Chains A and B, each alone.
Chain A
Amino acid sequence: MPQGHETPETVYHIEKSPQGALLSIENFSLWYGKNQALFQVNMAVEKGLVTALIGPSGCGKSTLLRSINRMNDLIDGIRISGNILLDGIDIYSPDVDVIGLRKTMGMVFQKPNPFPMSIADNVAYPLRVDGIRDKKILRETVVNTLKAAALWDEVENRLQDNALGLSGGQQQRLCIARAIAGEPEVLLMDEPCSALDPVATAKIEDLMDELKGRYTIVIVTHNMQQAARVSDNTAFMYLGRLFEYGDTSRVFTNPKVEKTMDYVTGRFG
């Protein structure tokens, strides 16, 4: 952490708690033991839009993303301060059911992690753990979700095959299908295409376009071109601080903060 570095102002082009904000991050800080990883992050994620988090490695993007569905709770020694509000409810308040919270969000990880079950079982898993046993509902959901994830045509004949037999891109789309099977409100994607080839990446970016209206998507990416292509709002983070947040087109063409300009032009990171 550079000492004596004055906190720059973050530049907003969206108001802090607009009407359309689904997810409101207010003065959120996070410590891994003694090390502080996030410094007073303030952000509002709009409903139905794609928000990208960009920045160099180690800037805290994944940490922020995982804080949204409280996956950081799994790590020992985490301490937070500030709030994250989902629809006005503070998700870190002690009377919030973490599992219920995670059911309202879907997460896709960097490396595809399908379960060692059949494709259909993979997609139906969120419903099964929710207690839904009705085979008709499960089957319907599997079909619709796989269609929505643009995977149906490729797997409709082999729904009972093991999911680990799919290719990388197909596995990632399967994970996306699994993430949206439970009808979440927010879809969190942590560098979903970094382990895939360009063709698969293109397919997933198309998918994100299709899913946009129904779901609110927050995507972490270190691929700036992808952020520019896919997202509506972009947040630039560096060393745990949110430097700039606003409309994608404006952030990339006319960034207000010097660091952002340096990053998007490729001068560092």
Chain B
Amino acid sequence: MENCIVKNLALKNKSDPNQQSNEAGFASTKAGDHPRKSMTWDIKARGEPFLWGLGGALVLGILMIVGFVVLIIYNGFLTFFPKPIDRVSLRNGSVVAGELSRSEIYRPGPELLASLSEETRREIADRGGLVRRDLYRTGNFDLYNEDFRWVSDYEIAEISVPTDIFFVERIEWGPFIGTIRSVDLNGKILEGDSLTLSALRDAQRKAANRLASLHDIERNQIGAINHYMEKGRLKIRKEELTHGKESPEYRRALEEFKVESDKLDARYLELSKEATAIKERDAKYTMTLADIGGREKTIKLSEIVRYYPANSLTFPEKIRVYLSRWWEFLTQEPREANAEGGVMPAIFGTFCMTVLMALAVAPFGVMAALYLREYAKQGRLVSLVRICVNNLAGVPSIVYGVFGLGFFAYILGGSIDELFFPERLPTPTFGTGGLLWASLTLALLTVPVVIVATEEALAAVPQSMREGSLACGASKWQTIKYIVLPRAMPGIMTGLILAMARGAGEVAPLMLIGVVKMAPELPIDQFSRISTWTAVSCTSVFIFLTLDSSLGTRKLPSPWFTRPLFSLSP
């Protein structure tokens, strides 16, 4: 190749005697004369193809990542945006109303074509045999038994956009798409002209407050009573276990409990009467809705989460709905089998667990690495330990889950239960999966990462600095504390961050050691709603990350088997 180039140049210069052969300095060579000089023309030597190849590959990779992220952001951001509701009249006379979810083009098969009329078949053939069909979210699951509906274009007679149609998000049964016929406010009926949005807003706000106070009574106050009763019962059981059924302590505990429980019972009666009163009052505030076909449905005002006239919103109002949906997504609990509501428990649970895990892993990892690198006599044993630590980083995470379950939950937790909470047995207190054990298991999983990163960071501290410190009369620990660790800190933080990132994303251990759907009571939290969240959190992490694809992609039709037949929410 070189000779070829040289020859070409030589020929070139021969044919052009006017050209200055010394211009480039190397053009005047003959083949075989100074083979070295041709190197500058050799593409392989200059490396440009490789450069272009590498640069191109990098650009391609970046484009793919950026494109992917942009696609996700674009689709995700648009998910919550309130869409207009179309009223589609079909040729067969029926009417469908819903939000347009997506469209696709397909080629109908022979059985489908056979079932259509001659005219329709000609229409389809005119369009090259292709049919477009649209997916409409019709809502009203309690009326139609389905949430979405396909409408092919040959079925459509007319599409209109009615201004009075509402999109009403409910606590149960998903959204309702239809018009508001009337509102019954404890006897006072609003309909037609008197049905103004402002009056509605007022009434709905009051209903929401009622619901909140009902929740408070049921969950917090009655929950407190239950808690006290349980405590009393446990105390009796404890006395029974320690002293036996015949002992005076047991009898005394029984009597105390009797007095206590009478008081609690009285209070419970009060509270439940209050709750019933609220419920009765609440049932008097209802809204009657009609779907597009005219079927009516009456719901309580307190069931409504959000409602808006989908086709008559101004842009700022749309933004308000959008932002309120985002807020709900980030701060509420999930409902309707994780198809509605928010991901707050998952966020909170992940956050809690990651923090606990970081607190557990940081000291142990750093101390282990310090010992391995600074104090241990370097030799075969230390190398072996290092190899083992590196191998630990490659162990599949489900093995950690099994280990955590066996060791932390059953052995440690079981022992704690037997020693400190014998009266609750066989219901496990610490002897089952939970936030604490999950965090410790994940800490175990990520400790090798921290150790390796810390060791690298410590090795990078120059020996001259260590010697300088020792020559000043510092002890080894002082050198580590004042010179080595601060200098290695960026590397250690990198290791910690990597560990936290890895731990927060691991699901397999949580399947075994973190799954607690709803603990009736955790020994560490008492009365706040946070207790529910911590209990649900680990399962939420698991569920949201693996099984549930419908949150965040609410446009997808929910398969029939995830639709609840009846509400399971606590």
Contact = CB atoms under 8 A, between A and B. Distances in A.
A94 B366 CA distance: 32
Interface string A79-121: 0000000000000000000011011011101010111100000
A187 B366 CA distance: 36
A125 B471 contact: no
B486 interface: yes
B81 to A, nearest CB: 52
Interface in B365-423: 377-378
A126 B467 contact: no
A218 to B, nearest CB: 13
Interface in B455-475: 462, 464-465, 467-475
A202 interface: no
Contacts of B469: 115, 125, 129
A140 to B, nearest CB: 18
Interface string B467-496: 111111111001000110011000000000
Contacts of A102: 470-473
Given A109-B464, A116-B487, A129 B475 contact: yes
B464 A111 contact: yes
B468 A109 contact: yes
Size band of the B side of the interface?
A: 10 to 19
A209 interface: no
A129 B473 contact: yes
B467 A182 contact: no
A71 B471 contact: yes
Contact of A99 (B378, B462, B473): B473
Given A113-B464, A115-B483, A182 B472 contact: yes
A104 to B, nearest CB: 8
A230 interface: no
Most buried by A among B468, B469, B482: B468
Contacts of B487: 116
A129 B482 CA distance: 9
Contact of B471 (A106, A111, A114): A106
B472 A129 contact: yes
A130 interface: yes
A125 B482 contact: yes
Contact of B465 (A105, A106, A115, A126): A115
A103 B473 contact: yes
A126 B472 contact: yes
A14 to B, nearest CB: 27
Contacts of B472: 102-103, 106, 125-126, 129, 178-179, 182
Contacts of B478: 129
Interface in A220-242: none
Interface string A114-144: 1110000000011011100000000000000
Interface string A152-188: 0000000000000000000000010011001000000
Contacts of A115: 465, 468-469, 482-483
Contacts of B483: 115-116
Given A125-B482, A129-B478, A129-B482, A113 B473 contact: no
B465 A179 contact: no
Contacts of B462: 113
A126 B473 contact: yes
A203 B99 CA distance: 84
A170 B448 CA distance: 42
B471 A179 contact: yes
A69 interface: yes
Interface in A176-227: 178-179, 182
A103 B471 CA distance: 8
Interface string B344-377: 0000000000000000000000000000000001
A74 interface: yes
B458 to A, nearest CB: 15
A100 B487 CA distance: 25
Contacts of B467: 71, 74, 109, 113
A215 B303 CA distance: 89
Nearest to A129: B474
Contacts of A128: 482
Contacts of A99: 473-475
A116 B486 CA distance: 9
Contacts of A125: 469, 472, 474, 482
A126 B469 CA distance: 8
Contacts of A114: 468
Nearest to A101: B473
Contact of A113 (B377, B378, B465, B475): B465
A175 to B, nearest CB: 7
A115 B468 CA distance: 8
Nearest to B472: A126
B310 to A, nearest CB: 62
A107 B468 CA distance: 8
B6 to A, nearest CB: 49
Contacts of B474: 99, 125-126, 129
A255 to B, nearest CB: 32
A23 to B, nearest CB: 16
B408 to A, nearest CB: 40
A178 B470 CA distance: 12
A197 B469 CA distance: 25
Contacts of A179: 471-472
A130 B462 CA distance: 23
Interface in B296-352: none
A130 B377 CA distance: 27
A210 to B, nearest CB: 21
B474 to A, nearest CB: 4
Contacts of A76: 377-378
A129 B191 CA distance: 84
Nearest to B471: A107
Contacts of B482: 115, 125, 128-129
Nearest to B473: A103
A113 B468 contact: yes
Contacts of A69: 471
Most buried by A among B467, B472, B478: B472
A198 B502 CA distance: 54
Nearest to A104: B473
Interface in B485-512: 486-487
Given A99-B473, A102-B471, A129-B473, 19 more contacts: A71-B467, A99-B475, A103-B472, A105-B471, A109-B467, A109-B468, A111-B464, A113-B465, A113-B468, A115-B465, A115-B468, A115-B469, A115-B482, A115-B483, A116-B486, A125-B472, A126-B473, A129-B472, A179-B471
Interface of B: 377-378, 462, 464-465, 467-475, 478, 482-483, 486-487
23 contacts: A69-B471, A71-B470, A99-B474, A99-B475, A102-B470, A105-B471, A106-B472, A107-B468, A111-B464, A113-B465, A113-B467, A113-B468, A115-B465, A115-B482, A116-B465, A116-B483, A126-B473, A126-B474, A128-B482, A129-B474, A129-B482, A179-B472, A182-B473
Interface of A: 69, 71, 74, 76, 99-100, 102-103, 105-107, 109, 111, 113-116, 125-126, 128-130, 175, 178-179, 182
The 9 closest A-B pairs by CB, nearest first: A103-B473, A107-B471, A129-B474, A113-B468, A126-B472, A113-B464, A102-B473, A129-B478, A99-B475
